[in-house]
Structure 1
């Protein structure tokens, strides 16, 4: 550091530290993944509208994803291309302002859709006028189509048709995700639930239609974000969604200690709304760079090496069987997160690299992995069967049996992480996750634990 350069206090860091101190959230949304300019806007939204910070952070991330669409993609390796689409679920109680928070975050995209609709109406007026003016050659007139980004209420066929009108992609934005899933059950005979899994993967969409022309979308982009009430989470496990990988693809935003949204007389400085609109608009304009083919970014070497090391040492899958699917999908998501973070930086910071995903973006992606993994475990715990002990994996049962009724963290590390066949039975990180399971353990004091269900033999 240059000794002659004066030290300056970063107000964004102070805001983050203040929130951690006041709210004491065990798993806050990692706002520091965003550039400072965007963090400042989000803090202003928080101070004025009092929406939950997790809702705002995740809403901005999802809006950025929708704005990017298929315009820019990340090449991990030749033949392995990653898009930026996300499947996000906003969890809360009635009155937690889930919908207003998302409306605020998606306002610039709604503004773009409003413009598309105005253009469509003008073209339809001209088209209908031409139909009336020309008695002959009416078949030569091309009927205008409505281009849009956001889909709210739709049939599966309408979704694909809308995508054919907007090659850059769509985002399904719904107030209540359960309603969407229930509607999909009307189409299970044609595999529409499985189609959602395909949309997440970005596989080619082909739809043969008997009444009109068939549709094929070679490089689709479809994102999803919607709200769900805590009591309705069990609906996500019905109809095979828990076993077919659908739930593993969902990014749960499940804040702790949700507080009532307090009304106030605070007014937002319009410059923050303008700046936010400009950031998302810059991402929307990326499609102009891609023309017909997406721009392919690569990941810089040191960033890939860092991520490889992290992934090789990520041992969350060695304890719970059901963690494997969640962990693997979230590891895939890291590339999507990193791509979004990098493009957000390039949309804000002049001269920022738009050809490579850099180390800072990858580190931000890993922070999002940790955040969403914690929330996924929280949801899974709520959906666990009543006979919880019987649902445990053999390894988890063995560790539980080895632990005394009361024990210290040091004792648990010695017993649970004992070396078998030359390697620890589980990692310290997995043990830490296990000790946080409130169905099994109570934290009596710092470093001291007690079993919820006592072993009479101990």
Structure 2
């Protein structure tokens, strides 16, 4: 009798299969693009802390980008190199633990910054003690090396980047405030500056002291959160048409559960694994002067180019085309990040971008593309509602989602100070607005969800 066949069942594979079979989410974050050890931390934090899988996946993707910084680039072809900086926007309702999820994902970066600050404080004390005893000391004043920055002037951003050539991430709890501060220090258009920073164009500034600073090859990323209700502010002042919106990676869970308090903690072993992976990526290139150029292996490049060449050429809306073009470029950045984190987790090669990384990048493209379209459509709808009069808005709010003509007339034409708010004729005209109402059958209407 032959021995029974032993089948090993992977817990993470089971988790992925379970979610695919039971989750009604039409646009789930593709957790499977990460190595198993990272998938484990994502599912653990989702289960124990109830953070959305989208927030965790995008947060770890961006934290990995920060750890890599300017140390690695993809050599797509001669003269075309792509770095890994991302502009990530976490979207949700108040109380969805957007900030807590980000803090969890960026914990290894925060730990590194704490160590750097402790080192800086010691060197500063030594410098100040030396200065007291010898005013002509040759000891140079130390500078603080940072990976993350939140409140800054454009000059301070460049100064901190010059102190850390590897790059910086603008890490802002509420990105709406970041947007509102555009043009606070100059009137030349800060959004345009970020377009250049996204592309890695040389930046410089002339300081009041007379000293000029210049970063030849900048690496600036953005990560932060925002509420659904203020998404329209991202599109103001021309940002929906100048390419700024197209560079933003919106992380917008389709299904978001209300968080319930609990006393659960993430397993220390799993947490240490994650910290170790991100820390290793930081330390690997700590003394690296020039970026390491990583080519794409031939079959992976063919897959990437075939995919791009077969993307749609005609679009119903111009914004779909502009979103598509920028996200295609992001596929290369995603591939670099995925190759790097698989390298740190599984000791995969880091001398080429492999097929799995490109395929994972394409999956991320689809996720972020769907979210970008969703955000644009919501902004367009909200913009239309804002063109209504206050009375039109009030009536729209008071109407049920489904109503009859008689019910609508009763609400719209109710008397205020003994006079109907609007006439029957005005209400019938209002009902014809196809952006607001859908006629279901004779005498029955439905509000369109705006």
Instruction: Confirm or deny a common fold (TM above 0.5).
Output: yes
Any unmatched runs of 5+ in structure 2? 385-433, 441-445
Instruction: Evaluate the alpha carbon distance shift between residue 96 and residue 214 of structure 1 in structure 2; reply closer, same or farther with a 3 A threshold.
Output: same
Greater Cα shift, 208-217 or 159-168: 208-217
User: CA offset at residue 320 of structure 1?
Assistant: 2.4
- CA-to-partner distance for each residue in 1:388-431, whole Å, 9 max, x for gaps? 8xxxxxxxxxxxxxxxxxxxxxxxxxxxxxxxxxxxxxxxxxxx
Residue aligned with 1:37, SS: helix
Q: 1:305 aligns with which of 297, 302, 305?
A: 302
Contact 2:232–2:382 (Cα < 8 Å) also in 1: no
> What is the aligned partner in structure 1 of residue 353 from structure 2?
357
> What is the aligned partner in structure 2 of residue 407 from structure 1?
none
- Could you state the TM-score of these two structures normalised by the residue count of structure 1? 0.81
CA distance in 2 between counterparts of 1:358 and 1:231 reads 40
CA distance in 2 between counterparts of 1:98 and 1:23 reads 21
CA distance in 1 between counterparts of 2:49 and 2:225 reads 18
Contact 2:91–2:226 (Cα < 8 Å) also in 1: yes
User: CA offset at residue 317 of structure 1?
Assistant: 4.3
- Is residue 384 of structure 1 aligned with residue 380 of structure 2? yes
Instruction: Evaluate the alpha carbon distance shift between residue 145 and residue 13 of structure 1 in structure 2; reply closer, same or farther with a 3 A threshold.
Output: same
Residue aligned with 1:89, SS: strand
Contact 1:297–1:354 (Cα < 8 Å) also in 2: yes
Greater Cα shift, 305-314 or 4-13: 4-13
- Is residue 331 of structure 1 aligned with residue 328 of structure 2? yes
CA distance in 2 between counterparts of 1:13 and 1:163 reads 41
CA distance in 1 between counterparts of 2:183 and 2:271 reads 39
- Is residue 291 of structure 1 aligned with residue 288 of structure 2? yes
- Is residue 367 of structure 1 aligned with residue 363 of structure 2? yes
CA distance in 2 between counterparts of 1:65 and 1:379 reads 24
User: CA offset at residue 385 of structure 1?
Assistant: 5.2
User: CA offset at residue 15 of structure 1?
Assistant: 0.8
Q: 1:150 aligns with which of 140, 148, 151?
A: 148
CA distance in 2 between counterparts of 1:27 and 1:359 reads 23
User: CA offset at residue 441 of structure 1?
Assistant: 12
Contact 1:172–1:225 (Cα < 8 Å) also in 2: yes
Contact 1:83–1:336 (Cα < 8 Å) also in 2: yes
- CA-to-partner distance for each residue in 1:331-361, whole Å, 9 max, x for gaps? 00000000000010100112x1100000000
Any unmatched runs of 5+ in structure 1? 389-437, 445-451, 454-458
Instruction: Evaluate the alpha carbon distance shift between residue 387 and residue 144 of structure 1 in structure 2; reply closer, same or farther with a 3 A threshold.
Output: closer
Residue aligned with 2:182, SS: helix
Residue aligned with 2:37, SS: helix
Residue aligned with 1:263, SS: coil
- Could you state the TM-score of these two structures normalised by the residue count of structure 2? 0.83
User: CA offset at residue 47 of structure 1?
Assistant: 1.2
User: CA offset at residue 86 of structure 1?
Assistant: 0.2
CA distance in 2 between counterparts of 1:5 and 1:285 reads 44
Instruction: Evaluate the alpha carbon distance shift between residue 441 and residue 22 of structure 1 in structure 2; reply closer, same or farther with a 3 A threshold.
Output: farther
Contact 1:156–1:192 (Cα < 8 Å) also in 2: no
* Structure 1 segments (4+ residues) deviating >6 Å: 438-442
> What is the aligned partner in structure 1 of residue 123 from structure 2?
123
> What is the aligned partner in structure 2 of residue 241 from structure 1?
239
> What is the aligned partner in structure 2 of residue 318 from structure 1?
315
Contact 2:183–2:189 (Cα < 8 Å) also in 1: no
CA distance in 1 between counterparts of 2:98 and 2:314 reads 32
Residue aligned with 1:239, SS: coil
Residue aligned with 1:187, SS: coil
Instruction: Evaluate the alpha carbon distance shift between residue 112 and residue 439 of structure 1 in structure 2; reply closer, same or farther with a 3 A threshold.
Output: farther
User: CA offset at residue 313 of structure 1?
Assistant: 1.2
- Is residue 31 of structure 1 aligned with residue 27 of structure 2? no
Contact 1:316–1:327 (Cα < 8 Å) also in 2: no
User: CA offset at residue 251 of structure 1?
Assistant: 0.2
CA distance in 2 between counterparts of 1:283 and 1:162 reads 21
Instruction: Evaluate the alpha carbon distance shift between residue 440 and residue 295 of structure 1 in structure 2; reply closer, same or farther with a 3 A threshold.
Output: farther
> What is the aligned partner in structure 2 of residue 102 from structure 1?
102
Contact 2:75–2:294 (Cα < 8 Å) also in 1: yes
What is the RMSD computed on CA atoms of the aligned residues? Answer: 2.3
Contact 1:74–1:296 (Cα < 8 Å) also in 2: yes
- CA-to-partner distance for each residue in 1:187-206, whole Å, 9 max, x for gaps? 34243221111110011112
> What is the aligned partner in structure 1 of residue 423 from structure 2?
none
Q: 2:183 aligns with which of 175, 182, 185?
A: 185
- CA-to-partner distance for each residue in 1:76-107, whole Å, 9 max, x for gaps? 01110100000000000100000000000000
Contact 1:29–1:54 (Cα < 8 Å) also in 2: yes
CA distance in 2 between counterparts of 1:5 and 1:60 reads 38
Contact 2:88–2:222 (Cα < 8 Å) also in 1: yes
> What is the aligned partner in structure 1 of residue 229 from structure 2?
231
User: CA offset at residue 165 of structure 1?
Assistant: 0.2
Residue aligned with 1:362, SS: helix
CA distance in 1 between counterparts of 2:117 and 2:382 reads 50
Residue aligned with 1:119, SS: helix
Residue aligned with 1:127, SS: helix
Contact 2:155–2:207 (Cα < 8 Å) also in 1: no
CA distance in 2 between counterparts of 1:57 and 1:110 reads 18
Residue aligned with 1:91, SS: strand
